[in-house]
A and B are shown apart, each in its own frame.
Chain A
Amino acid sequence: DTGVSQNPRHKITKRGQNVTFRCDPISEHNRLYWYRQTLGQGPEFLTYFQNEAQLEKSRLLSDRFSAERPKGSFSTLEIQRTEQGDSAMYLCASSLTGEMLGSGYTFGSGTRLTVV
Chain B
Amino acid sequence: DAKTTQPPSMDCAEGRAANLPCNHSTISGNEYVYWYRQIHSQGPQYIIHGLKNNETNEMASLIITEDRKSSTLILPHATLRDTAVYYCIVRVTGTYKYIFGTGTRLKVLA
Please tell me the size bucket of the interface on B. 20 to 34
A-B contact count (CB 8 A): 49
* With contact pairs A42-B87, A101-B89, A109-B41 given, residues A56 and B96 touching in the complex (Cβ less than 8 Å): yes
Tell me if B's interface is mostly helix, strand, loop or mixed.
loop
Report Cα–Cα, A113/B106, bound state, in Å: 26
* With contact pairs A45-B97, A56-B96 given, residues A4 and B43 touching in the complex (Cβ less than 8 Å): yes
Q: Check B46 against A93 for contact (C-beta < 8 Å).
A: no
Instruction: Give the A interface residue count (CB, 8 A).
Output: 24
Give the chain A neighbours of B32 by CB distance below 8 A: 100-101
Q: Could you say which of B36, B87, B91 has the most chain A C-beta atoms within 10 Å of its C-beta?
A: B36
Q: Would you call A105 an interface residue if the criterion is a C-beta within 8 Å of the partner chain's C-beta atoms?
A: yes
Tell me if A's interface is mostly helix, strand, loop or mixed.
loop
Shortest Cβ gap from A67 to chain B (Å): 14
B46-60 interface with A by 8 A CB criterion = 46, 49
Looking across the interface, which residue of chain A has its beta carbon closest to that of B97? A45
Selected A-B contacts with CB under 8 Å, 17 pairs: A4-B43, A41-B102, A42-B101, A43-B44, A43-B100, A45-B96, A45-B97, A48-B96, A55-B96, A58-B97, A91-B43, A93-B43, A100-B91, A101-B46, A101-B49, A102-B34, A103-B46
Q: Which 8 A-B pairs have the closest CB atoms?
A: A42-B100, A107-B43, A45-B97, A48-B96, A101-B34, A103-B46, A43-B100, A107-B44
Binding site for A on B (CB under 8 A): 32, 34, 36, 41-46, 49, 87, 89, 91, 95-98, 100-103
